[in-house]
Amino acid sequence: MTKPTPTARVLTTESGAPVADNQNSSTAGVGGPIVLQDQHLLEKLARFNRERIPERVVHARGSGAYGHFEVTDDVTGFTSADFLSAVGKRTELFIRFSTVADNLGGPDAARDPRGFAVKFYTEEGNYDLVGNNTPVFFIKDPLKFPDFIHSQKRDPFTGKQEPDNVWDFWAHAPEATHQVTWLMGDRGIPASYRHMNGYGSHTYQWTNAEGESFFVKYHFKTNQGIRCLSAEQGAELSGTDPNSHQTDLLQSIERGVYPSWTLYVQLMPVAEAADYRFNPFDLTKVWPHKDYPLQRVGRMVLDRNPDNVFAEVEQSAFSPNNFVPGIGPSPDKMLQGRLFAYADAHRYRLGVNHTQLPVNAPKATVARNYGRDGLMATNGYDRHAKNYEPNSYGGPVQSDRPLAAPLAVNGHVGTHAAPAHTKDDDFIQAGELYRLMSEDEKQRLIANIAGGLSQVGREDVIEKNLAHFHAADPEYGERVEAKVRELRED
């Protein structure tokens, strides 16, 4: 029997009892069958069987890091958020990057949008900003989100992603044309997480100390510069190093080469939203910078890797309903749906007490509420504290301070289409994006779109998609159509 050295820590069971032998199971005699009383063996195997939790339905494959955000410019005229209250103020944060459609074991270098979720550990509670590396998305109503994701993920019969499903959904969703143009362009495969921008994508609301409100869009501009992979490079890297983005992020931080992003915002006075030329809460559209210029806010730096990927990256939980005073939601329908869906997904995956996990718990303040018990409950609340409110025992009480200004509403409850603005259109911005591209970029975009669309089995689905590109820009449509026909004839 090997005795522990005086300085060695003794291995124990989960209840703290010392383990006498961690090399040999207990048997009925030498060479005999294993006995049921071997508590250490049973506990070890049962624990191993439960080491994994359900993976995220979307954004399953991810990487994360810790860092800080430092305010560089005065924005107190626009928001009363405390973590943005003074130039030079620093706030600890955690960020999770991810792909969207693939499973946990998928390659990092896939053509896919990238999740860009930031958790700010502020003194007024955690603020979660959940976005992507694209400023727009495929759909504008959360009712279609399950359908969209089903079309992009593995087919329930074939068990693999099907071009027929992908393009059939897009054929019936003309508002996706703008995001499809982003996704099939050069930025569809970032070279690494460090070399891409991040966007809040949704429209949010900022409210200043005087109660004046602004609608806001977030832009994290990479200070490493934009770098992307071609379709051929992405395919090769996916095969040779499926963990390429994870490796790059981990190693750069370990070397002390800390990635950083500069945060800018676009700000729209609330009164201007109603008469803006298109719906400013439509997630499939951007606000042109000439209308609402970028204003610098601060700098985000990542300088520490997680110690345990499962505990800190896979169990990290971001919910866009985690606001702080001075920041709130807008009427963006996709955002409104996600205010519920994200938190509910985490309650399913991680349990109702997932906010008590170290990566999700507040760091600069203490959570005080009357939630109790449930799966994996801890004693994280005051001893002998009451679990109801109001009470006569000094329990926490409401602040009477709204997080943001109230949103004006009118009309009757019903399943309404989004309100029409003077220049609402599903194709204008996709065409503008196409015309901004160089000829080389256009050629790669056309090749990427045609490579997928030419694999679709139904001609009517192909025709519907081609009509979208024609509507965005006549040249765009003609070139996609010609390339698709060429590939289908080969």
Residues acting as catalytic residues? 59, 132
Question: Rounded distance, CA 31 to CA 452, Å?
Answer: 59
Cβ(258)–Cβ(301) below 8 Å: yes
Query: DSSP alpha helices (H): ranges in 360-458?
Result: 428-436, 439-453
C-beta separation of 324 from 125 below 8 A: yes
CA angle 236, 476, 226 (to 5 degrees): 45
Whole-angstrom Cα distance, residue 185 to residue 458?
24
d(Cα 324, Cα 124) in Å, to the nearest integer?
Answer: 6
The DSSP bridge partners found for residue 125 are 122, 123
* d(C-alpha 64, C-alpha 109), whole Å: 16
Determine which helix (DSSP H) or strand (DSSP E) holds 182, and give its type and residue range: helix 177-184
SS3 68: strand
Tokens of 390: 């109001």
Please report where in the chains the tokens 């004693």 appear, as a residue. 379
Q: From CA 328, how far away is CA 207, in angstroms rounded?
A: 8
For 178-203, b/e burial (b = at least 16 CB within 10 A) is: bbbbbbbbbbbbbbbbbbbbbbbbbb
- Please provide the size of the chain in residues: 490
Matching residue, tokens 């995001």: 179
